[in-house]
Structure 1
Amino acid sequence: MRKLIVLFLFFTNVVLFGQTNINNNQSPKYAFQKGEWLQYRMSYSNFLNAGYATLKIKNSKKNNKAAFHILGDGKTSGLVGLFFKVKDNYQTYIYKESLKPYRFIRKINEGGYTKNKEILFNYNTNKALVKDFKHNTEKSFSIDNDIQDMLSALYYLRNQDLGSLEINEEIELKLFFDQETYKFKLRFLGKEVLKTKFGAINSLKFRPIVQSGRVFKEEESVTIWVSDDKNKVPLKIKATLAVGSLRADLDGFKGLAHPFNIIFNN
């Protein structure tokens, strides 16, 4: 059960979109802004309330460069929380100019399973310094210049133009997680009008190609919907697991940078 919160944060922020290029010669028009707050309700097997996850944005600065400080929190609740407590905290700091991360924090406690790590990204040397506070270790790893962490990936890719994607087109994302660089493939499935608690919303539908086995029931067992507007807000994630299924639905929002195009109220 401890994988529920981790899977939500992982798939929201890792396999949501494929990688495109940003033009640093132009002033970026962000899909998000300081003060944005998103909350997701997670359910297990479509009926059991498993917990909540939130994402929020603050302003920051690094070496006199403007930056965003993004915080992601997840915790179990209800019956799941009584038997298995999860409290996860993820943070990333990204430069506003390039939307690349320079610092990533991961503090988790999942039923007694804990991690406390910090990653510092250096693009001059193309190295990532991983600090493991639980084991009191530091180690440097080689990275690509266009790398993202599992939380910064969402905000970097939310800011990209997805209008040129064709149905069944596959795109890739490179991500540094723990001590390795991973490549993920993602397939664009098309557009869909998605019913939410706020009303019907035009959405873009994606399916990551994941590895089947211990966690996922099949290779293609995860589906993701995001709003088809300038915000590109994740609306829903549905995953078929080896045992049961996981679903995350947008439950609350505020501070969006652009109008949220709800077609009608439920």
Structure 2
Amino acid sequence: MLNNILLFLYLFSASIFASGDDSKVVDSQFVVNKGEKLEYKVSFGFLTVGEATMKVREKTYRVQDAGCYKVDIFGKTSGAVGWVTRVNDHWGAYIDKESYQPYISYRNIEEGRYRKNELVRFYHESGKVEAKEVNQKTGEYKEPTIYDARGKQLFDMIGGYMHLRSIDFDSYEIGDTIKVDAFFEDTIYDFRIIYQGKDVVKTKVGSVRAFKLVPIMPDNKLFDGENAIATWFSDDQNKIPLKVKADMFVGSVTVDLVDHQNLTSPLALVED
């Protein structure tokens, strides 16, 4: 169960992919600030079970002749939970500075005795995705698997999260849907995210004006219903994720912002 809870260390996992057709309206004021750092805690009920850090690297990179941001997410168990099972995961991606589509993404997973090291390359012009894993016995990469993504504006989780931040939600009506093309592990998904309007979220850094989004989850054994996850992004130029709340069959999980550094502009704080 704990390993499933810590999926939220990656800040919404499949819930924050975003595709092109229904998210054409981009906020011209949104700018990714190099050096941005966000810190979160993960709670199961009243128990803090983990922590996560998201970083945008200070410099830009070139991949497939495109300028890219490098974004990394680190997640681990914390406190007494670490004595029960240890999680120490690292996810990352090189994403296009304009479209936020990924060119390279990677996962280095350590969860108890489970290990997975994966490298994925996205070739958007040809519509191909190349994924390969490390053989845990030899330390060498296995033969890559090729996936056909022609006709898709495809994102990984990190690129989708960044693209979602660039959308101008002031142009959306409550109930509007963002459709999704997303690659995760060995599958191309078609998700939907419902815009549910504006809200105020209490965080460790203060109460913040926010947009509320609810991904429609497919049938699964983890989440309790298709509206089981709610996410909140700041209603300002930063559009950072503030909170996630998920109803699971085993209880409620939350991810809460506890600190931030190097944002583009001040958060949209409101007086309590």
TM-score normalised according to structure 2 size: 0.89
Q: State the Cα distance separating 1:236 from its structure 2 match.
A: 0.5
The corresponding residue for 1:240 is: 247
Q: State the Cα distance separating 1:258 from its structure 2 match.
A: 2.0
* 8 Å Cα contact 2:25-2:171 kept in structure 1: no
The corresponding residue for 1:52 is: 51
The corresponding residue for 1:138 is: 144
Q: State the Cα distance separating 1:173 from its structure 2 match.
A: 1.4
* 8 Å Cα contact 1:74-1:89 kept in structure 2: yes
* 8 Å Cα contact 1:213-1:242 kept in structure 2: no
TM-score normalised according to structure 1 size: 0.91
Which shifted more, 60-69 or 99-108? 60-69
What secondary structure does 1:7 align onto?
Answer: helix
Q: State the Cα distance separating 1:145 from its structure 2 match.
A: 4.4
The corresponding residue for 1:89 is: 90
Q: For the residues of structure 1 that align with 2:190 and 2:235, how far apart are their CA atoms?
A: 25
- Seen in structure 2, the aligned counterparts of structure 1 residues 10 and 225 have a Cα distance that, compared at 3 Å, is closer
Matched, 1:251 2:258: yes
Which shifted more, 103-112 or 207-216? 207-216
* 8 Å Cα contact 1:12-1:234 kept in structure 2: no
Q: State the Cα distance separating 1:35 from its structure 2 match.
A: 0.2
The corresponding residue for 1:4 is: 5
* 8 Å Cα contact 2:195-2:214 kept in structure 1: yes
The corresponding residue for 1:43 is: 43
Q: Which among 152, 165, 170 is matched to residue 177 of structure 2?
A: 170
* 8 Å Cα contact 2:198-2:212 kept in structure 1: yes
Aligned residue identity for 2:35? G
* 8 Å Cα contact 2:121-2:131 kept in structure 1: yes
RMSD: 2.1
Aligned residue identity for 1:235? L
State, as a whole percentage, how many aligned pairs show the same letter.
32
The corresponding residue for 2:115 is: 114
What secondary structure does 1:151 align onto?
Answer: helix
* 8 Å Cα contact 2:17-2:182 kept in structure 1: no
Deviations 1:113-162 (A, max 9, x none): 22111111112211011111137231111114410001111112211211
Aligned residue identity for 2:55? K
Q: For the residues of structure 2 that align with 1:257 and 1:177, how far apart are their CA atoms?
A: 29
In the alignment, structure 1 segments of 5+ residues that lack a partner are: none
What secondary structure does 1:32 align onto?
Answer: coil
What secondary structure does 2:173 align onto?
Answer: coil
Deviations 1:50-77 (A, max 9, x none): 1101110112222553210000110001
The runs of 4+ residues in structure 1 deviating greater than 3 Å are 16-19, 28-31
1:150-165 pair list within 5 angstroms: 150-165=157-172
Deviations 1:182-234 (A, max 9, x none): 01111111111222222211111111111344101222111111111111111
- Seen in structure 2, the aligned counterparts of structure 1 residues 252 and 13 have a Cα distance that, compared at 3 Å, is farther
In the alignment, structure 2 segments of 5+ residues that lack a partner are: 137-141
